[in-house]
Structure 1
């Protein structure tokens, strides 16, 4: 099923992975900020956060509702789906795990629910038949909320037009990963763009050099402009993680955006 469509007012979401990281308490958060106030602060400096905790644990509906209430209007959360859905030999058998995650209360995020990220292990190779069976299990909505699915595949066998076409057929989007370890897979016709920038360097204040961030900014403008404007999600996610907030804020600055 092809659900691709342009949006009249494309959203640009730029952020980091999570909001709890000890080094950020000396270079991002104000000195003495209570740990319980970190999401409140981060969500007013950035426009999105990718949640990694949902990959490892099951959260209660009240937790998602709390995240919604603590963040400003327009803020977005991308959620990593629980690993029990993706870390398995036969993906076609993931139906129960997919349902358990989708119905765990994520709808409490309401209009702040961004794409769900289905992350696969680096050793998981592309098997078209089994992978298509998995994609067919992904629901298109929960409690009236449209769901968007991003596929974070890490084995080089996925770098093929067959995978890209299959993802598009089911309305899913390949994650574009800027990394030395994983393939960078893009679909120029996708419904939205999802980028994970993982080459941050500790010796660079913003992780990526400002001129490199300028290139990413131009790419964002390309996605959100033209005849087919689309939403873009960009996360500074790994590699010199202590620099991730500064990188995200620099990209927002170069795009002329404020949280």
Structure 2
């Protein structure tokens, strides 16, 4: 992908979208097929709550159309419970399942750390040493101490993308100098609920012009996420 921003959502199984996005008479089993007619990427978050299996990701591979791309979120066991300590085998297993299950449809591997995980140089080194750098790794932090030059320089040196976030308690910086633009829009001021205005979406478009990457809408606790994703897709044309 060159100079292309793909738009998608971090969830598709959403009853609020029925009658707004999904036709009223469309059965649940057809929802992902319908979603993939409008969007060419999906951020798979189910893996955060339950470690993915090869069978599950192979099923996703088979039901997604050609040229569709998945970004996959690492299990919380890795990022929240163990926080990258003594989990080399878990991380390796996660990479292997993603690679073998999704094959060429695997886009990015997302590691999102908890708000309690603040910056230290030792933690930065630990993150980098545990990543398999052949993958498109994206790191999302929830503590503002990670917004610093030491982190950004280290990520650039190792081809790692610093995730841009729209989050009520974090800097709103859109990063465009890393290997990819990767933006997660969680909803501000009400996380998971708030909608983004056309003006806000246009600002994102202008910031990411002529860049490659992904924009995922995670404000999916209401109809906001799908409406914003459709609008973002329209204005990116």
- TM above 0.5, yes or no, is yes
* 1:234 pairs with one of 212, 215, 231: 215
Matching residue of 1:137: 130
Mapped to 2, the partners of 1:126 and 1:187 lie a distance apart of 18
CA shift at 1:92, angstroms? Answer: 4.0
Conserved? CA contact 2:10–2:220, under 8 Å: no
Structure 2 residues not aligned, in runs of 5+:
none
Please list every run of at least 4 consecutive aligned residues from structure 1 whose deviation after the TM superposition is greater than 6 angstroms: none
Counterparts of 1:21 and 1:49, CA distance in 2: 14
1:160 alignment partner in structure 2:
148
Q: Does 1:246 align with 2:227?
A: yes
Alpha-carbon contact 1:122-1:154 (below 8 Å) kept:
yes
Aligned length: 234
The 2-side partners of 1:28 and 1:188 are apart by 31
Structure 2 residue aligned with 1:52, among 37, 45, 48? 45
- Measure how far apart 1:166 and its partner are: 1.8
Alignment of 1:176-255 (within 5 A): 176-184=164-172, 187-199=175-187, 207-222=195-210, 224=211, 231-238=212-219, 241-255=222-236
Question: In the alignment, does 2:90 pair up with 1:97?
Answer: yes
What 5-or-longer segments of structure 1 have no aligned partner? 1-6, 142-146, 225-230
Deviation at 1:127, TM superposition (A): 1.6
Instruction: Report if the CA contact (8 A) 2:108-2:136 is conserved.
Output: yes
Query: In the alignment, what sits opposite 1:107?
Result: 100
TM-aligned CA deviation for residue 187 of structure 1: 4.3
> Alignment partner of 2:18: what SS?
helix
Q: How far 1:104 moved relative to its partner?
A: 2.5
Q: Specify which of 78, 85, 88 is matched with residue 71 of structure 2.
A: 78
Give the TM-score of the pair, scaled to structure 2.
0.89
Taking structure 1 as the reference length, what is the TM-score of the superposition? 0.82
Q: In the alignment, is residue 21 of structure 1 matched against residue 14 of structure 2?
A: yes
Cα distance between partner residues in 1 of 2:117 and 2:83: 10
